[in-house]
């Protein structure tokens, strides 16, 4: 079997109203546009992947990803689709540092395709199932009444939350104070500043919360300062009892090594969509495990296809603290109508069906060509 073509289709999903307008540090549109990737073969088997985007943090968009797919597929057409490592090597040769979203989407599709060819789920390609399921975090709506939304999610069984911060010290402290009584000692609250705080600001917020928060409440400081400020992260980590999570600055193994060498974080967030695919993310997980540093297997503005790939990696990983695969539930609709990751009582799981467990294009429930987001250039 040979790869004959790789195609990408930009698709749009609208956030539910309570998630459309939130106060956070980086710009986020009310509509998410990702690219569904399809790897075609000469025997008619098609692998499905998704390239997810976060322009405000990483700069990539659907148009840039579509161009990246055209660039990368030139080296992949004619390849045996089971040669996953060779495919990853070829993509890095064609684009050593860029087109990360396109690489991730193609790599996910190749794993789906390999699973379909071999008749096994993706997690088997990654070493086999380690967990029956992995708890997932979810992001409550960020607004003044967010405590109500968090309470509703608690009632659904979620016990891990990524709460977006704004960069405004008073606002952020007030919103955290409103949430802590809701979760008590039953849940973990990660304060995701997305680089919005300065070092001194983070230290002030941590100091205030340490005075006010009991030891039984679980709070994480997630990416409080600029992504490349590893020394600043280390300073915050040394000064507070709250665990510090490094996130936005980890895009390569070299970045992860710098975090470890600087002792800058207690936890690292590792994302398929940010590092260029399943293979690279699993490599980083192995590095984190070798250095005995905690990690989560996380998402970036993902629809259900990419969320499902993350879930497969999470259940095949040795000891993730938790995962992040609930973003697709924040949309008004998702293009996947059957199969893929399931979340029950806040725990994510995947099926034993081949590949991602989503099936063929018919399982997407839409005609990709008719729903594509079009881009025209002068």
Nearest of 311, 243, 326, 244 to residue 281 by alpha carbon: 311
Question: Is beta strand 347-349 parallel, antiparallel or unpaired with respect to 134-135?
Answer: antiparallel
Q: CA 169, CA 28: separation in Å to the nearest integer?
A: 20
Determine contact, residues 185/213, Cβ cutoff 8 Å.
no
pLDDT at 81: 98
Q: Indicate the CATH number for domain 134-349.
A: 3.20.20.120
Half-sphere exposure of 330 (CA within 13 A, CB side): 26
Which residue blocks in the chain are alpha helix, DSSP H? 17-20, 55-58, 62-76, 84-94, 100-118, 122-125, 146-155, 169-183, 199-212, 230-239, 253-261, 272-275, 278-290, 304-316, 368-371
Q: Who's near 300: CB < 8 A, 6+ residues apart?
A: 52, 53, 54, 58, 271, 273, 274, 306, 327
Q: Do domains 3-120+360-371 and 134-349 have the same CATH topology?
A: no
Q: CA 36, CA 83: separation in Å to the nearest integer?
A: 21
pLDDT in tens, the chain (378 residues): 999 999 999 999 999 888 876 556 666 778 999 999 999 999 999 999 999 999 988 889 999 999 999 999 999 999 999 999 999 999 999 999 999 999 999 999 999 999 999 999 999 999 999 999 999 999 998 776 789 999 999 999 999 999 999 899 999 999 999 999 999 999 999 999 999 999 999 999 999 999 998 767 899 999 999 999 999 999 999 999 999 999 999 999 999 999 999 999 999 999 999 999 999 999 999 999 999 999 999 999 999 999 999 999 999 999 999 999 999 999 999 989 889 999 999 999 999 999 999 965 545 655 565 556 654 433
Determine contact, residues 13/50, Cβ cutoff 8 Å.
no
- Counting every residue written for the chain, the total comes to 378
pLDDT at 106: 98
Q: CA 7, CA 106: separation in Å to the nearest integer?
A: 9
pLDDT at 376: 44
> Has this prediction a pTM greater than 0.85?
yes
Q: Who's near 117: CB < 8 A, 6+ residues apart?
A: 1, 45, 81, 82
Instruction: Write the class of the CATH domain 3-120+360-371.
Output: alpha beta
pLDDT at 377: 34
Q: CA 46, CA 44: separation in Å to the nearest integer?
A: 6
Nearest of 105, 196, 149, 118 to residue 16 by alpha carbon: 149
pLDDT at 366: 52
pLDDT at 18: 80
Determine contact, residues 282/253, Cβ cutoff 8 Å.
no
pLDDT at 326: 98
| Burial of 20: CB neighbours in 10 Å, binned 0-12, 13-18, 19+ | middle
Domain definitions of the chain by residue range: 3-120+360-371, 134-349
CA angle (74, 77, 82) in 5-degree steps: 130
């Amino acid at each position: 079997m040979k790869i004959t073509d790789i195609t990408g289709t930009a698709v749009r999903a609208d956030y539910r109203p309570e998630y459309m307008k939130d106060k956070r540090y980086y710009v986020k549109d009310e509509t998410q546009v990702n690219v569904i990737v399809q790897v075609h073969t000469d025997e008619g088997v098609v692998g499905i992947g998704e390239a997810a985007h976060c322009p405000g943090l990483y700069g990539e968009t659907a148009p840039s990803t579509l161009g990246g797919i055209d660039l990368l597929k030139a080296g992949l057409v004619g390849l045996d689709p089971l040669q996953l490592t060779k495919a990853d090597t070829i993509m890095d040769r064609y684009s050593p540092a860029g087109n990360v979203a396109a690489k991730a989407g193609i790599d996910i599709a190749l794993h789906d395709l390999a699973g379909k060819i071999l008749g096994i789920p993706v997690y088997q390609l990654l070493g086999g199932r380690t967990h029956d399921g992995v708890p997932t975090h979810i992001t409550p709506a960020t607004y003044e009444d967010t405590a109500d939304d968090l309470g509703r999610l608690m009632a659904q069984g979620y016990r891990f939350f990524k709460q977006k911060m704004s960069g405004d010290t008073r606002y952020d402290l007030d919103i955290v104070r409103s949430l802590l009584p809701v979760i008590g000692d039953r849940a973990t609250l990660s304060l995701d500043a997305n680089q919005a705080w300065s070092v001194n600001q983070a230290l002030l917020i941590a100091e205030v919360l340490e005075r006010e928060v009991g030891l039984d409440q679980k709070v994480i400081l997630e990416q409080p300062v600029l992504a490349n400020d590893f020394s600043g992260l280390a300073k915050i980590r040394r000064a507070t009892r709250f665990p510090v999570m490094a996130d936005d600055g980890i895009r390569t193994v070299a970045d992860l090594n710098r975090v470890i060498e600087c002792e800058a974080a207690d936890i690292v967030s590792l994302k398929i969509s940010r590092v260029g695919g399943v293979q690279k993310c699993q490599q980083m997980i192995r590095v984190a495990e070798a250095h005995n540093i905690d990690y989560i297997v996380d998402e970036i503005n993902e629809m259900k296809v990419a969320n499902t790939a993350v879930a497969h990696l999470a259940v095949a990983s040795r000891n993730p603290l938790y995962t992040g695969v609930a973003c697709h539930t924040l949309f008004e609709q998702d293009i996947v109508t059957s199969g893929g990751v399931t979340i029950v009582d806040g725990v994510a799981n995947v099926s034993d069906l081949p590949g991602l467990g989503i099936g063929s294009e018919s399982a997407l429930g839409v005609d990709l060509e008719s729903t594509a987001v079009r881009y025209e250039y002068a």
